[in-house]
Amino acid sequence: MSEDKTSIGRGKQREATIVDVADAAGVAVGTVSRYLNGHPIRRGNRDQIEQAIERLGYRRNAVAAAMKTDLTNTIGFMVPGLSEFHAAVLERLSYKMRKAGKALLTLCHNSDPRSVCDVLDFFATHRVDALVMDGQDDVGDRIKTLLDHDTPVVFYDNDVRGLPVDRVFVENRVASRRAVGHLIDLGHERIGVLTGDLHNFTGRERLEGYKMALAERGLPLRPSHVIDAHWNYDGGHNGMRALLELPEPPTAVFSCNYNMTHGALALLKEHRLKLPDDLSLVSFDDVPLFALHDVGITAVSQPVDKIADTIAGILQRQLANPAGNAPHTTTTLQCDIILRGSTRRLLTPATLGATGS
């Protein structure tokens, strides 16, 4: 009820400040500030200060400190959504940064360009010390604004060219080429592909890997076998149906990310089609349950921990640096391909295909 300044219970109880602590401890504010920041302090004063802090329930105010130091100890993190992959990167990265006293401000953009801009503005306004995101087109202006103010930016998972930022990617082309090459090794010649958005750098790279594998074995590229499945479940679901309804359906399919694989698997199940007898399948992105899926899904595994650790390293280097004059790096990490039971050798592979064309 009462609005006393000395109210002990709940209520507007004004926060104790560094000044209050100084008064209570009988020292100057400067001394308290130095104590808080780990500078040497006379023994007796230190005890007084610690008691005062305890007694007053003083809590440091990082907001006020940020205003002076221009350091919020906060890092912007923006991804399309918290799929298994991005969630894993976020968890590991947040763990690493916590040990450096920093935390991630997490926001998703759902692949909506408008949201991307809003989020970037939010980060700029909140003066994040750095920004980690998947590359997104049409945001060059906003990114440049951040860079102009010496905010380090790290792209991962997807690139946007021409921006002076640090980058952490995986060898999308190499891994995709190996994955498709594996199918060819097994005798497959009609291989479908579910691609991500091709406006997207990573989407194009994975498709290129597919094309390279075909080309280097002298297999033709059939346009009808290339389905734009938009990175998502529905795309994978519909795309797989489209492939199966082809006059010459593929005997194997390469899916360029987990979501599309998921949709494709659902469609196969609906039609009671069995891997690998009715179709061989390789997925980009490995998730734990793929190992348990009946015969097991052969998949390209991204090195999540290495990705996060690399980003953390870059962040620490850039933040330790006074102005943004550290050189920008691009790290490209290798993927493993995990062979499981969703792919099988195709016997007498070309018999039907030869008569067809």
Partner DNA sequence: TTGTACGCGTTATCAT
Partner DNA sequence: ATGATAACGCGTACAA
Q: Which residues bind DNA (CB under 7 A)?
A: 14-15, 17-19, 26-31, 33-34, 36-37, 40-42, 44-45, 58, 60-61, 64-65, 67-69
Identify which of residues 41 and 90 has a Cβ nearer to its own copies in the complex.
Answer: 90
Least distance from DNA to the Cβ atom of residue 66, Å: 9
Identify which of residues 22 and 184 has a Cβ nearer to DNA in the complex.
Answer: 22
Which tokens belong to 141? 């202006």
Identify which of residues 142 and 177 has a Cβ nearer to its own copies in the complex.
Answer: 142
Going by C-alpha positions, the residue among 185, 203, 186 that lies closest to residue 194 is 203
List C-alpha distances in Å: 188 to 61, 183, 354: 63, 6, 13
Q: Which listed option, DNA, its own copies, none, makes contact with residue 103 (CB within 5 to 8 Å by class)?
A: its own copies
| CA distance linking residue 152 with residue 148, whole number of Å | 10
| Cα–chain center distance at 273 | 33
Identify which of residues 61 and 334 has a Cβ nearer to its own copies in the complex.
Answer: 61
Q: Which listed option, DNA, its own copies, none, makes contact with residue 289 (CB within 5 to 8 Å by class)?
A: its own copies
- Number of residues forming the site for its own copies (CB under 8 A): 64
Query: DSSP assignment of 183-194, as one string?
Result: HHHTT---EEEE
**Residue carrying the six token digits 């196969």:** 268
Task: Report the first-to-last Cα separation within the chain, whole angstroms.
Answer: 88
Interface positions, 131-150, toward its own copies (CB under 8 A):
145, 147-150
| CA distance linking residue 83 with residue 232, whole number of Å | 11
Q: Which listed option, DNA, its own copies, none, makes contact with residue 219 (CB within 5 to 8 Å by class)?
A: none
Torsion of CA 132, 137, 139, 140, to 10 degrees: 90
| Cα–chain center distance at 248 | 37
Q: Which listed option, DNA, its own copies, none, makes contact with residue 30 (CB within 5 to 8 Å by class)?
A: DNA
Q: Which listed option, DNA, its own copies, none, makes contact with residue 122 (CB within 5 to 8 Å by class)?
A: its own copies
Task: Please state the length of the chain.
Answer: 357
292: exposed, middle or buried (C-beta count within 10 Å: 0-12, 13-18, 19+)?
Answer: exposed
The residues near 117 (Cβ < 8 Å, ≥ 6 apart) are: 139, 142
Q: Which amino acid is at 133?
A: M
Least distance from DNA to the Cβ atom of residue 316, Å: 19
Least distance from its own copies to the Cβ atom of residue 122, Å: 6
Q: With binding defined as CB under 8 A, does residue 292 bind its own copies?
A: yes
Q: With binding defined as CB under 8 A, does residue 291 bind its own copies?
A: yes
Q: With binding defined as CB under 8 A, does residue 28 bind its own copies?
A: no
Only one of the segments 78-86, 175-183, 210-218, 326-334 lies at the binding site for its own copies (rule: CB under 8 A); that segment is 78-86
The 3-state DSSP class for residue 39 equals: coil
The 3-state DSSP class for residue 74 equals: strand
H or E segment and range at residue 97: helix 84-98
Q: Per DSSP, which regions of the chain are E strands? A: 74-79, 103-108, 130-134, 153-156, 166-170, 191-195, 226-228, 252-255, 280-284, 298-301, 330-333, 336-338
Q: With binding defined as CB under 8 A, does residue 169 bind its own copies?
A: no
Q: Which listed option, DNA, its own copies, none, makes contact with residue 111 (CB within 5 to 8 Å by class)?
A: none
Q: Which listed option, its own copies, DNA, none, makes contact with residue 163 (CB within 5 to 8 Å by class)?
A: none
Q: With binding defined as CB under 8 A, does residue 124 bind its own copies?
A: yes
**Which parts of this chain interact with its own copies (CB under 8 A)?**
10-13, 15, 57, 59-64, 66-67, 72-74, 77, 81-82, 84, 87-88, 90-91, 94-95, 98, 101, 103-108, 110, 115, 118-119, 122, 124-127, 145, 147-150, 262, 265-266, 269, 287-294, 323-325
